[in-house]
Amino acid sequence: MTPSWLTWTGNDSLLVSSFAGGSTRVSRFTLHRQSPATQRTLFTVASNLWDGTFASAISVSAAHDVLAFVASTFDSPPEIDTVMLKTDAAARPLGVLEPARAITHVNADVRPMWGKAVSVHWRNDGFNVQGWLLLPAHYDPRRRYPMIVYVHGGPSWATRPGWPYDGYGAAPFAAMGYFVFMPNPRGSFGEGERFAKAIRRNMGYGDLRDILAGIDRVEAEYPIDNDRLGLRVGATAGSCRCSRPRRRSGSRRRWPRRACRIGRAITAKTPLTSG
The pLDDT tens digits for 57-71 are 999 999 999 999 999
Rg of the chain taking only CA atoms, in angstroms:
20
Question: Model's pTM, two decimal places?
Answer: 0.85
The pLDDT tens digits for 80-92 are 999 999 999 999 9
Q: Quick one: how far is CA 36 from the chain centroid?
A: 28
- pLDDT for 155 equals 79
Write out pLDDT tens, residues 224-246.
998 899 888 875 555 455 555 45
Model confidence over 99-145: pLDDT tens digits?
999 999 999 999 999 999 999 999 999 999 999 999 999 999 999 99
| Integer Cα distance of 95 and 154 in angstroms | 33
More confidently predicted of 166 and 117: 117
pLDDT of residue 154: 81
Query: Is it the case that residue 153 has pLDDT exceeding 90?
Result: no
pLDDT of residue 251: 47
Mean pLDDT of 183-198: 91
Report the C-alpha gap between 219 and 115 in whole angstroms: 17
Q: Omega of the bond prior to 112 within 30 degrees of 0, cis?
A: no
Question: What is the average pLDDT across 162-173?
Answer: 82
Distance of alpha carbon 49 from alpha carbon 56, whole angstroms:
5
Note the pLDDT of residue 203.
Answer: 83
More confident of the two residues 174 and 170? 174
